[in-house]
A and B are shown apart, each in its own frame.
Chain A
């Protein structure tokens, strides 16, 4: 039974590794300027984690095979390296491995979170609420009008609680249900939640950020490939969480300007 167990462990380990090696289920192609570093970090971590996983399972299986149910004359032997060797190995190999991963990973993280958006980045606001995203473009004045929470009304389609009659900055604000951005243009995304926690996740863009009710947070990114991508909520926000989504349309500059004009006309 021990030998069968050892074989089972090895078979499971190999079967587990096959979909990884064959890239059966992977993230879609990256369409951001910052994503390459994240993907690289992921591959390096996969290599190290994969080797650790296979090595540990194989050694476990080998020892189970070799040392189970020995004859009555078998003598207890001690692993030659002893505990000291193992501790040193863990400190050196795993310690160096994880610290290196951590240090290299800082750059990928810093790219997204520790750099400021450039001065000409395009500001877009996204508001999350149960169970929809709404996007706001500041219009020609490049200023967002203030939000009046008491005026928010889904029924009258005042999703942001704007008061254009009294706030001049709100007059040219454009509110949309889909997000469109020009390709190769840096976007400064201002994130606001009107009710509970939500999240903004676009796999292709290598972006995931929670909305924090009561605290506006921001992100900046540049999309490099024209296309239509799904934005989904990843923070449990209530019964319609699974269905909270919107689309991100990455357009050419001209198409984007046409789209924005059309949306402005519909306000």
Chain B
């Protein structure tokens, strides 16, 4: 057990100037909110891009009012050109994966709550933490700038496969300056997340307060810790890969372009590069990234469900070990993205088995979460609805992984909408549901005000049903062989599938519009919401034992002492059916009975 609280923290005084307080703040809570705001802007941008894509896929020649003003060449008369479609798609994927699914569940909530949940007054390196956000913010600006530079953003997809990513503007619109901006943005993003991970890991290991053993950490804290370990290794590989792409563009190198490449009848001035090298580097990051997006969700949702079930999970340890197993296995499975890439076919089999085996820890997580509901006293509110919705989506997206883990089936399903449906459900919608659950749950602590429950529930219903209407049909399209990343469907065999695309488009527009209810609720509640008590959910972990919102040093100059496991629910105590971690009150607990 550690007692580092009084010594290890780098103390810094409360800021006094506006800039130090709200902009270049060293306070992890302000930085967490800044990350949340960035993710919110990014999510809205990504959602609008998806609307434009969906309208184009449903009605290819539809003129979208006002779009011409964004890009005269990309949308003449408001009609999206094939290349502009690919540019919108690339930006949608990049924005969502990096600036929403990584920043919100990990950087935003992790920054705000990890130090509080471990009982620290801040992260150990607050200046690195501040840099982490501002570098990430700069990365977002650099990415968005590509909309307004030259012939627009890159059209190569969020995976930016080589050699299209390295041949320059001869490869198509956006493949010159657009790619350089993309790679610069992502390299910066990696720096930001590495700085974040460098703070999260020692916060968890070294700054735990008295009594806070590792197993007394809430599951959310464990999830952020495991995620930061993944981030440290995954982003450290993507960053140099992006630098090599930039060098291929500006320094005449040929890391990713082989000899004898001919484009527009011109032999390109490159030789000796490897296209598969990019795929290995990218997916060595890319698959852990899936878990970087979803593991925080698993931890957060477990934390929220426990509070609302009024009982701990069936096994705290098994959940932690399973999340750890996901993290370790995530590096051994990345080759399943490359089964038909031209990689050695024996390698495909070698990558297939760990991919199948990763189903086991995933199944254990779902089984523990679901069967912990048995005999609970489940409270239904916006947070718990989204948490339960997370499980449903995680299952639906997870089972399609059975198919894609097998090289022989991947021959049929690779690069089809089946893959798009799979990853949107399991890492997109499920992770978003985790973010929504976290928002409804922690908003009172972050802002001092409650969110509107009725609006929250309406938001949930529209999102839950809507997400299924959008993403389940993706799987059917894929099974029929509908290739992804097509700006329209001129092939004979794709024509009959267009009505399905139209259904999805309508569902996407309605579901997207429902997110505006959330946005309204968020902004309205921030200023005019009902004042929140310190512990509105009758929860046990440390964030609920301090004031709402927490003071600058989190615990008002005190160092909390932890007496209990994180989830002492279903007990009889002086305050109700729970005992807070900081309460010295001794009660007979379920664990002790066992």
User: Interface of A with B (CB < 8 Å)?
Assistant: 1-2, 5, 8-9, 12, 16, 19-20, 24-28, 37-38, 41-42, 45-46, 48-50, 52-53, 56-57, 59-60, 63-64, 67-70, 74, 76-79, 81-84, 86-87, 89-91, 94-95, 98-99, 101-102, 105-106, 108-109, 112-114, 129-130, 147, 149-150, 152-155, 161, 194-197, 199, 201, 203, 206-215, 217, 230, 232-243, 245
Contacts and interface: CB of A to CB of B under 8 A. Distances in A.
23 contacts: A25-B479, A42-B403, A45-B406, A57-B396, A63-B370, A67-B375, A81-B371, A82-B314, A83-B368, A91-B360, A98-B405, A101-B406, A112-B408, A153-B265, A197-B162, A206-B411, A210-B341, A212-B341, A230-B493, A236-B157, A239-B82, A240-B82, A242-B487
Contacts of A209: 340, 342
Interface string B368-388: 101111111111100001001
The size bracket of the interface on B is 35 or more
Given A1-B457, A70-B377, A78-B375, A239 B262 contact: no
Contacts of B360: 90-91, 94-95, 98
A31 to B, nearest CB: 13
A70 B309 CA distance: 11
B490 interface: yes
Contact of B82 (A79, A109, A214, A242): A242
Interface in B262-295: 262-263, 265, 267, 273-276
Nearest to A70: B377
Interface in B328-377: 340-342, 345-346, 348-349, 352-353, 356-357, 359-360, 363-364, 366-368, 370-377
Interface string B243-276: 0000000000000011111110101000001111
Interface string B3-41: 000000000000000000000000000000000000000
Nearest to B339: A109
A90 B491 contact: no
Given A5-B380, A86-B371, A16 B261 contact: no
Contacts of A238: 83, 155, 164, 171-172, 175
Contacts of B480: 25-27
B267 A236 contact: no
B470 interface: no
A208 B412 contact: yes
B481 interface: yes
Nearest to A192: B260
Contacts, number: 316
B414 A38 contact: no
Given A8-B465, A197-B161, A197-B275, A112 B402 contact: no
B231 interface: no
A60 B375 contact: no
B399 A53 contact: yes
B491 A213 contact: no
Contact of B342 (A25, A56, A210, A230): A210
Interface in B410-465: 411-412, 414-416, 457, 464-465
B213 interface: no
Contact of B356 (A99, A113, A197): A99
Q: Pick from B86, B356, B359 the residue with the most CB of A within 10 Å.
A: B356
Contacts of A237: 164
B373 A64 contact: yes
B590 to A, nearest CB: 7
Contacts of B374: 63, 67, 77-79
7 closest Cβ pairs, A-B complex: A214-B258, A77-B375, A83-B315, A108-B408, A76-B570, A113-B345, A239-B83
A21 to B, nearest CB: 12
B476 interface: yes
B91 to A, nearest CB: 14
Contacts of A64: 373, 378, 388
Given A41-B408, A98-B357, A236 B156 contact: yes
B409 A45 contact: yes
B126 interface: no
B370 A214 contact: no
A194 B86 contact: no
A59 to B, nearest CB: 6
Contacts of A214: 258-261, 273-275
A53 B163 CA distance: 39
A74 B309 CA distance: 12
Contacts of A130: 172, 263
A154 B414 CA distance: 30
Contact of B364 (A81, A87, A241): A87
B489 interface: yes
A69 B476 contact: no
B472 A16 contact: yes
Nearest to B481: A203
B202 to A, nearest CB: 31
A76 B312 CA distance: 10
Given A1-B457, A98-B356, 4 more contacts: A98-B402, A152-B267, A215-B275, A242-B489
Contacts of A78: 314, 374-375, 590
B352 A102 contact: yes
A237 B411 CA distance: 19
A16 B487 contact: no
B339 to A, nearest CB: 8
Contacts of A102: 352-353, 356, 405-406
A161 B484 CA distance: 31
Interface string B309-337: 11101110010000000000000000000
Contacts of B357: 95, 98-99
A60 B388 contact: yes
A24 B356 CA distance: 27
B262 A195 contact: yes
Contacts of A112: 408, 411
Nearest to B415: A234
